[in-house]
Amino acid sequence: MNILAIETTGAEASVAVINEKEEVFMETSDEKMNHLQNLMPMVDNLLQKRGMVIDDLDYIAVSEGPGSFTGIRIGVSTARALAQALSLPTIGVPTLQSFLYHVPEYRGIICPIFDARRNQVYGGAYRWSDTGQSEEVVPGGAYDLEELLEKLESQIMRPKEAKELTTPEKGEEITFFGDGILPYREQILKWQDSSLNDNIRVSFAEDDIMLQKASSVARLALVIYRDGGGKSLYDLKPVYMRKAEAERKLEEQTK
Amino acid sequence: MKDKNFITLGIESSCDETSAAVLREGRDVLSNVIASQIKVHQVFGGVVPEIASRHHLDNINTVIDSALSEAGITLKDVDLIGVTYGPGLVGALLIGLATAKSMAFALKKPLVGVHHIQGHICANYIEHKDLKPPFLALVVSGGHTNIIDVTDYNHYEVLGRTRDDAAGEAFDKVARVLGLGYPGGPLIDEAAKKGNAHAVEFKRVFLEKDSLDFSFSGIKTGVLNYLNTQRLKGEEVSVNDTAASFQLAVMEVIVAKAVMAAERMKKDKIVLAGGVAANSLLRKMLKEACDRKGFELYYPSPILCTDNAAMIGCAAYYKYQAGMEDDYYLDAYPNLAI
């Protein structure tokens, strides 16, 4: 059983294959923002390096968003067309949640944020439970950064959680990922310093794990597959988390 | 290449129509499925690129399925995949391209990128089974106004182009100021039938003597000025008369330049293509001009004038016949030159 995973939602594109033994192999583009051009040759290279042929694939997984609208569409249309041509099922992988698989040993909260312009981020927060399950701390969405940080703070200050805060590194450490770090780093540090919750400690992901990676998309895809989450290509939808600008304006006018 | 029953799958998504078509032997259309987004964009008064891209993604796979099932084949029967790679809206183009590239890769079939305008010209090969180059092509659409010397199936030389707005663009803008709605082409055509084309004398812009280029931004301003002047004078404006006068002014220039180009290039065939090729006045005037000069005139039926994948499949077929093929690096070119 092999799953091909496609990641094109950010500045760097990558593809990966994962098998049932959880072995992951990844191919990354060294060129930024040229996903349409590079994606298919990357898949070709990956398969060749692994000594595989396209018919060895059983599922086509794709990072479904949020992220760059264009990037999401390149990934989803590629995944769907491969599935259509090969008569295979697909797996839609939530992009934000996939960041948990960047740091499988990490005990803190991870908070991927993508710069969504208009002073917003696409973001969410997740952590590994004690039993190794992925847990959602703040659901993925388009947020003003303050709104996202408020939600994080309220989650950390939950009474149930407060007791556990005596154990250090239990969830009060938050590591931020994604290209949203770049414009919002200072604002996040300010929030840490001004927070009434002394237990909040912020850190930022190192460069090599800061952005989306197909290897993590593949790992989460395998989990979704095992939970029976494979689906027809016709049910594989992009997750934009935001309406088109023109549509939003039109709705405002007609309100 | 098989000699019999060579099957081409064409894919088009450069603007606001998602289309897939199946052709046998390049000219025989087995299916030509078009999902139009006109209604989606009407409320915005024009095509919104982000919304167009979203709809292309929603539609593309089912459009391909319909094209295959209407043609009674499966993807495995396809020998060649042709796809529009420019010009057009980049976000729209890439849906068709990513799909075509993935399918060609998965099915191990050859891939050919097609120039959208060359596709429009090739629509005539589908309509007129005996048509062969050389000929002079006049391409008039929402995004393009070109006079092209077609010397062979894969040899195109642009003799004239618009320096500002495309003819179809001017139609859309004038339709908007006349309150006719969107898309402008068919609405102005309809209104003009009920109007007096000599009611207002809009300036015909021919540019330099002997130039085969066009300029349509001036006439659009001319219409606006006329409407404002009438309004200031408190005089009523006839929408039908204005539409008819505007349309005549545009078509007189187009027809005159097409005939001049054909004479200069010593061509006796004129091939009309593009969305505005469906305009009834253009067809009538060009037919009369061709009859006077002893030229033959070819144009496609209305469905083949709109953006469609059959014309793309046809163009891909002739490129492939000539040994042209693209690799998986094929990219989208929003401003692709002919």
Q: How far is B287 from chain A (nearest CA, A)?
A: 42
pLDDT at B132: 97
User: Tell me, what's the pLDDT at A31?
Assistant: 81
Q: Which of B71, B59, B49, B62 is nearest to B18 (CA)?
A: B59
Is A38's CB within 8 Å of B329's CB? yes
Q: Residue A27, Cβ neighbours under 10 Å: how many?
A: 22
Statement to judge: residues B114 and B157 lie in one domain? no
Residue B215 contacts residue B207 (beta carbons within 8 Å): yes
The residue range of the domain holding B218 is 133-299
Residue B103 shares a structural domain with residue B165:
no
Q: Which of A44, A74, A244 sits opposite B50 (nearest CB)?
A: A244
A contact test, residue of B105, B109, B333 with most A CBs within 10 A: B105
Cβ proximity of B275 and B141 under 8 Å: yes
Does any CB of chain B come closer than 8 Å to the CB of residue A46?
no
Domain ranges in chain A with CATH number 3.30.420.40: 2-95+212-245, 97-209
- How is domain A2-95+212-245 classified at the CATH fold level? Nucleotidyltransferase; domain 5 (3.30.420)
Q: How would DSSP label each residue in B224-265?
A: HHHHHHHHHTT----HHHHHHHHHHHHHHHHHHHHHHHHHHT
Q: Taking CB atoms and an 8 Å cut-off, how many pairs form between chains A and B?
A: 97
Percent of chain B clearing pLDDT 70 (strictly above): 99
Q: What contacts B303, CB < 8 A, 6 or more positions away?
A: B32, B34
- pLDDT score, position A194: 85
Q: B74 to chain A nearest CA, in Å?
A: 9
Other C-beta atoms lying within 10 Å of the C-beta of residue A1: 12
CATH number of A97-209: 3.30.420.40
Q: Average pLDDT of B199-208?
A: 95
Contacts of B99 in chain A (CB under 8 A): 77-78, 80-81
The answer to whether A59 and A222 have CB atoms below 8 angstroms apart is no
pLDDT at residue A157, rounded to an integer: 62
**What would the mean pLDDT of B62-80 be, rounded to a whole number?**
98
pLDDT at A163: 52
Structure tokens at B216: 């349509």
pLDDT higher than threshold 70 for residue B3:
no
- Please check whether residue B73 touches A, CB under 8 A: no
Quickly count: other Cβ atoms within 10 Å of residue B49's Cβ.
16
Residues of B in contact with A69 (CB under 8 A): 50, 53, 91
Predicted local confidence at residue A171, as pLDDT: 44
Q: Quote the DSSP letter at residue A215.
A: H
- In this structure, the answer to whether residues B273 and B153 fall within a common structural domain is yes
- pLDDT band, residue B94 (cuts 50/70/90): very high
Q: Going by DSSP bridges, is the β-strand pair B155-161/B145-152 parallel, antiparallel, or unpaired?
A: antiparallel
Are the CB atoms for B11 and B317 separated by under 8 Å?
no
Q: Where are any strands of DSSP class E within chain A?
A: 2-7, 14-19, 24-28, 59-63, 90-93, 109-115, 120-128, 134-144, 173-177, 201-204
Single out the residue of A33, A29, A52 nearest to residue A41, CA to CA. Answer: A29
Residue tagged 């052709």 (tokens): B23
Residue length of chain A:
255
Rounded to two decimals, the pTM is 0.94
Helix (H, G, I), strand (E, B) or coil at A41: helix
Segment B110-129 mean pLDDT: 98
CB B334 within 8 A of CB B58: no
Q: Do A246 and B48 touch (CB under 8 A)?
A: yes
CATH of the domain at B39: 3.30.420.40
Q: Given this model, what pLDDT does residue A123 score?
A: 98
Cα–Cα distance for residue pair A4/A214, rounded to 1 Å = 9
The verdict on B313 and B231 lying in the same domain is no
For residues B92 and B146, membership in a common domain is answered with: no
Residues of chain A with pLDDT under 50: 159-161, 165-171
**Per-residue b or e along A173-203, where b marks 16 or more CB atoms closer than 10 Å to that residue's CB:** bbbbbbbbbeebeeebeebeeebeeebbebe
Structure tokens at A36: 């349409």
d(CA A104, CA A241): 26
Nearest to A247 among B51, B57, B332 (CB): B51
Q: Judge if the upstream peptide bond of residue A66 is cis by omega within 30 degrees of 0.
A: yes
The distance of B48 to chain A (nearest Cα, Å) reads 7
Q: Is A52 on the interface with B (CB under 8 A)?
A: no
User: H or E segment at B12?
Assistant: strand B7-12
pLDDT at A32: 80
Q: Decide if B77 touches A, using CB distance below 8 A.
A: no
Q: How far is B324 from chain A (nearest CA, A)?
A: 19
pLDDT score, position B2: 42
Task: Let me know: does A40 contact B331? Beta carbons within 8 Å.
Answer: no
Residue B58 lies in a domain: yes
Mean pLDDT of B91-116: 98
Would an 8 Å CB–CB cutoff place B105 in contact with chain A?
yes
Which bin fits B274, alpha (ψ -120 to 50), beta or left (φ > 0)?
left
CB contact under 8 A, A70 and B48: no
**Is B57 in CB contact (< 8 Å) with chain A?**
yes
Query: Could you tell me if residue B66 is inside a domain?
Result: yes
Q: Are residues B174 and B26 in the same domain?
A: no
Burial code (b: 16+ CB inside 10 Å, e: under 16) for B86-120 equals: bbbbbbbbbbbbbbbbbbbbbbebbbbbbbbbbbb
DSSP string, B282-301: HHHHHHHHHHHHT-EEE---
Closest CA to B147 of B134, B135, B160, B166: B160
Across the range B307-315, mean pLDDT stands at 98
Q: How far is A227 from chain B (nearest CA, A)?
A: 26
pLDDT by residue (tens digit) across B172-183?
A: 999 999 999 988
Q: In this structure, what DSSP letter does residue B329 have?
A: T
B81 and B226 belong to one structural domain: no
pLDDT at B4 over 50: yes
Residue A223 is encoded by which pair of tokens?
Answer: 């989990």
Length in residues, chain B: 338
Can you tell me the distance from the alpha carbon of A195 to that of B128, in angstroms, rounded to the nearest whole number?
Answer: 75
Residue contact A81–B103, C-beta within 8 A: yes
In a domain, B263, yes or no: yes
B53 and B72, same domain (yes or no)? yes
String of DSSP letters for B68-119 = HHHHT--GGG--EEEEEEESS-HHHHHHHHHHHHHHHHHHT--EEEEEHHHH
Query: What's the gap in Å between the CA of A43 and the closest CA on chain B?
Result: 10
A233 touching B, CB under 8 A?
yes
Asked if B98 lies within 8 A of A250 by C-beta distance, the reply is no
Taking the C-alpha atoms of residue A148 and residue A146, their distance in angstroms, rounded to an integer, is: 5
On whether any CB of chain A is under 8 Å from the CB of B95, the answer is yes
Nearest C-alpha in A relative to B105:
A40
What integer pLDDT is reported at residue B81 of this predicted model? 98
ipTM score of the complex?
A: 0.94
- Which residue shows structure tokens 């060579």? B6
Tally of domains within chain B: 2
